[in-house]
Amino acid sequence: NFCIDRLHVELQLEEEETYKWAPLSPRAKKTKQTKSKNEETDTEARTGWDVFSLAYDITAPLTAVVHPEAMVQYRRVSSMLFRLKRIEHRLNWSWRASTTLNHALLVAVRHAGGSSAVGEQYAQAMALLRRVSMTRQSVLHFAGNLETYLMFDVLEGGWKDLLQSLSAARTLDDVILAHNRYMYNIVNKSLLLDTEAKTGSISSSSINQN
């Protein structure tokens, strides 16, 4: 209960973004994003999926180790895992929609009485649905493998290394260094280091300085 009470939801909005809330739906509404006082451009509104983020309240003395820069990295990894779940959800929804369409096409062909023109169109539609199914399965396979890699190879493996480093730590600086290395390895193995200049990632140089 102590940990859960410190969890809360944050909306990660862009700077200077006038955000009109859109529901957790794949259909985003149009909104306006103000660039300056005299200039406005229409952009596709981001949905709740795009801005949703879990945050955790850290209080002293833990802030000496889990500093704000580290919390940024935790949110980035959490957002990536959340988006993977969103992809899985959308692909499952696509499978249900394809199944419904397949059944509707079959019923339509039966009612058409075996017309050759209808049969040809049905064959083309089924070929397209098979291609969609193959693509969906490929993406599901990739997303599942990526999620497994992140959960077990990156997070669980990194956590074991962190526990070993903490057990060998003798000073507060050793603890901070161990945690910084832990965060750097997670971000690096999660393939998120390419945007570190924009988000203030814990770089290897800062680890070496500590």
CA angle 16/22/25 to nearest 5° reads: 135
At 170, which amino acid appears? R
175: Cβ–Cβ under 8 A, 6 or more apart, which residues?
A: 65, 166, 169
Would you state the pLDDT for residue 40?
A: 44
Q: How many CB atoms lie within 10 A of CB 150?
A: 19
Query: pLDDT tens digits for the chain (210 residues)?
Result: 556 677 767 766 665 554 444 444 444 444 444 444 444 444 456 666 677 777 778 888 888 999 988 988 888 898 889 889 989 999 999 999 999 998 988 888 888 776 666 778 888 888 999 999 999 999 999 999 999 999 999 999 999 999 999 999 999 999 999 999 999 999 999 988 765 444 444 555 455 544
- Report pLDDT for 108: 83
Quick one: three-class SS letters along the chain? CHHHHCEEEEECCCCCCCCCCCCCCCCCCEEEEECCCCCEEEEECCCHHHHEEEEECCCCCHHHCCCHHHHHHHHHHHHHHHHHHHHHHHHHHHHHHHHHHHHHHHHHHHHHCCCHHHHHHHHHHHHHHHHHHHHHHHHHHHHHHHHHHHHHHHHHHHHHHHHHHHHHCCCHHHHHHHHHHHHHHHHHHCCCHHHHHHHCCCCHHHHHHC
The residue ranges of every structural domain in the chain are 1-57, 58-209
Residue 123 identity (one-letter amino acid)? A
Position 4 scores a pLDDT of 67
pTM reported for the whole predicted model: 0.70
User: What pLDDT does residue 35 have?
Assistant: 45
pLDDT at 193: 78
As a whole number of Å, the CA-based R_g of the chain is 24
